């Protein structure tokens, strides 16, 4: 399994983002991914999600199905295979 890090920043669309937050949270919780951790940055400018996946293409599909991505409220995103420390 590879550790995946999904780092994203948000557009300045607070009303649109606020409407998508419940769907975004439910989406990630319902996936029940191995080693999932995630949350927003303190200033709410974006967030970081980490999880494990056997395949980077599957990880990309999961990320691209995120309601924030589909709702086009993300200004920038990075998806990386992460060498997580123990």
Name the percent of the chain in helix, strand, coil, to the closest 5: 35, 35, 30
Domain count across the chain: 1
Q: pLDDT of 18-54, one tens digit each?
A: 999 999 999 999 999 999 999 999 999 999 999 999 9
Q: Among 79, 66, 74, which Cα is nearest to 11's?
A: 74
Flag whether pLDDT at 86 surpasses 70: no
> pTM for this structure?
0.91
Split at pLDDT 50, 70, 90, the class of 85 is low
Write down the mean pLDDT value for the chain: 94
C-alpha 72/C-alpha 4 separation (Å) is 21
Q: Among 84, 9, 7, which Cα is nearest to 49's?
A: 7
Q: What is the CATH number of the domain that holds 75?
A: 3.30.70.1060
What's the domain range around 49? 2-82
C-alpha 62/C-alpha 53 separation (Å) is 10
């Amino acid at each position: 399994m590879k550790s995946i890090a999904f780092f994203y920043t948000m557009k300045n669309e607070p009303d649109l983002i606020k409407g998508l937050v419940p769907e975004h949270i439910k989406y990630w919780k319902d996936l029940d991914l191995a080693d999932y951790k995630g949350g927003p940055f303190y200033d709410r400018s974006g967030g970081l999600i980490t999880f494990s996946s056997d395949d980077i293409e599957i990880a990309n599909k999961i990320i691209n199905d995120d309601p924030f991505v589909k709702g086009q409220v993300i200004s920038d995103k990075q998806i990386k295979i992460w060498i997580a420390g123990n």
